[in-house]
């Protein structure tokens, strides 16, 4: 009986240690600067630092530029329809606009995101990072969207201040107007 108890305890202990080591290894891959900073990794492995500000979010190195965060999923039809319009805006405002597509999909293979870029003409920064979910949840809270929000979400910021946000599919002309207003045109 004592032998069975010892073996059972050893099995339980090994499962616990195995689960902890798995959790620890995924934690090691996540770079957290602090709770108000997010390090996002793009398809080309370039990293982008996003900071939570009092009035919104800012992108390191984008002072004076308009930054659009497009929160999307590769399987979402309105998200697919939005991608070419964002690419068009990127071309129109190439010097003054940064667009970052932040997928809500966990464990998405980079190839699937690259296929999305190619198929739907998403020629702007696409991030597939362990911190995507942290940023999306933080932004949804900031925008007061609750836990179950629709996608796509397009949040437009300039120098850390919210300009406008949209839920769902939106006309390119509306977004262009907001970009021009933010740039003072």
Q: What is the mean pLDDT of residues 154-176?
A: 96
* pLDDT > 90 in the chain, percent: 76
What does the pLDDT read at residue 23?
30
CA distance 98 to 66: 6
Look at the chain and count its residues.
185
Decide: residue 22, CB within 10 A, 0-12 exposed, 13-18 middle, 19+ buried. Answer: exposed
What does the pLDDT read at residue 185?
85
Q: What is the pLDDT of residues 59-96, one digit of tens each?
A: 999 999 999 999 999 999 999 999 999 999 999 999 99
Q: What is the pTM of this model?
A: 0.81
CA distance 102 to 94: 19
Active site residues: 76, 79
CA distance 86 to 178: 13
CA distance 144 to 47: 27
Decide: residue 183, CB within 10 A, 0-12 exposed, 13-18 middle, 19+ buried. Answer: middle
């Amino acid at each position: 009986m004592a032998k069975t108890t010892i073996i059972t305890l050893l099995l339980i202990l090994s499962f616990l240690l195995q689960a902890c080591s798995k959790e620890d290894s995924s934690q090691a891959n996540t770079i957290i600067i602090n709770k108000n900073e997010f390090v996002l990794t793009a398809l080309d492995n370039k990293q982008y630092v996003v900071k939570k500000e009092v009035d919104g979010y800012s992108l390191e190195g984008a002072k004076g530029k308009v930054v659009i965060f497009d929160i999307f999923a590769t399987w979402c039809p309105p998200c697919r329809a939005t991608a070419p319009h964002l690419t068009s805006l990127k071309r129109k405002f190439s010097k003054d606009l940064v667009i970052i597509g932040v997928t809500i999909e966990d464990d998405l293979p980079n190839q699937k995101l690259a296929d999305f870029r190619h198929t739907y003409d998403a020629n702007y920064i696409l991030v597939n990072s362990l911190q995507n979910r942290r940023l999306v949840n933080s932004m949804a809270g900031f925008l007061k969207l609750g836990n179950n929000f629709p996608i796509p979400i397009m949040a437009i910021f300039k120098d850390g201040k919210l300009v406008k946000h949209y839920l769902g599919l939106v006309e390119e002309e509306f977004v262009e107007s907001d970009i021009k207003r933010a740039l003072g045109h």
